[in-house]
Amino acid sequence: MLPCSRLAQNRMKTLFTKVVVALGALTFLLTSATAETKKPNIIFILADDLGYGEVGCFGQKQIRTPSLDKMAKEGMRFTQAYAGNTVCAPSRCALMTGKHMGHATVRGNDVNRLGANDLTVAKILKDAGYTTGLVGKWGLGEENTEGVPPKQGFDYSYGYLNQVHAHDYYTDYLFRNGERIANNTNDYTHDLFAKESLEFVRREKDKPFFLYLAFTIPHSKINPPSEEPYAKENWPATERKKAAMITRMDRDIGRLFDLLKELKLDENTIVFFSSDNGPHHEGGADNAFFKSAGPLRGIKRDLYEGGFREPTIVRWPGHVKANKVSDHIWGFWDFLPTACDLAGVSAPKDIDGLSIAPTLLRKGKQQEHDYMYWEFNERGFQQAVRMGDWKALRLKPGQPLELYNLKKDLGETKNVAAANPKIVEKIESILKTCRTEYVKKDKGPKKKK
């Protein structure tokens, strides 16, 4: 029989061992639960005026986009994803607020801007514990207004506020956190944005972050620092330069993915890529040269498909199925509720968007839009509706609708309105209720010329 002291020591050792095992098990469970519930970093990369057909994985044969093509192989490529509008500012408004053009605060490249009562995805994610950053082009509020990024939910911002100012790639000023700062006119601003985005990720790597990386490529002016890797191509100079801009952007997107891997953030970061509207003909660009809109009709400022159907890719290793092509129909106003789902918070009720998380993660039932709506306020007043495979346009008030069956006629070559009066009637009824009146403000703040 063991002495009392030895017996007590053995009991203490046994108890200690049990405690250690229990604590180990509890730590494992807590760590596993944390891993499962950890909020993913969210990055939305937005190109500027990039056409549906200007990316390799969407059919481009001449412009090299290896990083985006790899992103598609490692993620999900969407063939029926839409921008918010056919021009810059309203498209970005839909992305930020979850509202389509029938309800958005900004519906044209005019003086309207976001106000204090607008609820942006950045405000929501900031409240959910994310550090929020904007790098690049904003276009939704001038300095000294409620529309500046710091007042719209961004902890950090760097770039242009005004979309016209963003035409100048060699500007003498930019904005940091809403304040004007001097800039070296020898610097190509895209390169500054690429560098700044990497610095933001490095700085915020230890906590959930949302980065809205709004590149200005390939918007005019078409004047990159180099025509490489196309300098020796027997193409018009404008096309060599435009291709060089797109490949330059693709290179920097590849650098961002490399950094995510280096910092071991890759599997906890979902990255979206798209463009704000279709390809432009500004600066002498010839959209026929590269077949910039692919098989689609129209370009920027058109409500035909080429004006706002965009090359869209989403990547999240281990969560979004690799090398997947989806024909799910969605638009920029769906990003806000999707981000809410990813962050584990509720989306606002008064939005038009529907989360596409079920499609991305293959969990739950994906809700479908009854219809998609756009309007364009810079050529008088134009409207478009997508309802299933049907697409309707009205290019002038009072004019009969044009109607196309996109499943049979992707290029919108045959107006079938006369043969489908019931479809036309249904879309006419949608147009009566899908929007509120849009009031343009009389004046905005003065902009530096």
Query: Per-residue pLDDT tens for 201-238?
Result: 999 999 999 999 999 999 999 999 999 999 999 999 99
Query: In whole angstroms, what is the distance from residue 194 CA to residue 251 CA?
Result: 10
Is 26 exposed, middle or buried, given 0-12, 13-18 or 19+ CB atoms closer than 10 A? exposed
Is 427 exposed, middle or buried, given 0-12, 13-18 or 19+ CB atoms closer than 10 A? buried
Query: In whole angstroms, what is the distance from residue 213 CA to residue 210 CA?
Result: 10
> Is there a contact between 82 and 352 (Cβ–Cβ < 8 Å)?
no
The pLDDT of residue 147 is: 97
Average pLDDT over every residue of 351-363? 97
> Is there a contact between 356 and 332 (Cβ–Cβ < 8 Å)?
no
| Neighbour order of strands in the sheet with 312-315 | 179-182, 173-176, 156-160, 131-137, 209-214, 41-47, 269-275, 312-315, 76-78, 324-326
Instruction: For the domain made up of 380-433, give the CATH fold.
Output: Arylsulfatase, C-terminal domain (3.30.1120)
SS3 (DSSP) at 429? helix
The pLDDT of residue 21 is: 43
| Neighbour order of strands in the sheet with 390-394 | 372-376, 382-387, 390-394, 402-405
Domain boundaries, the chain: 40-368, 380-433
Q: How confident is the model at residue 439 (pLDDT cuts 50, 70, 90)?
A: confident
| Residue 8 pLDDT > 60 | no
Query: In whole angstroms, what is the distance from residue 325 CA to residue 319 CA?
Result: 15
Backbone phi, then psi, for 419, in 5-degree steps?
-90, -5
Number of H helices, E strands in the chain: 9, 16
Select the CATH number that applies to the domain covering 40-368 from these four: 3.40.720.10, 1.10.3210.10, 3.10.129.10, 1.10.357.10: 3.40.720.10
pTM of model > 0.75: yes
The pLDDT of residue 128 is: 98
Strands 209-214 and 179-182: unpaired
Q: What is the pLDDT of residues 28-83, one digit of tens each?
A: 333 333 334 589 999 999 999 999 999 999 999 999 999 999 999 999 999 999 99
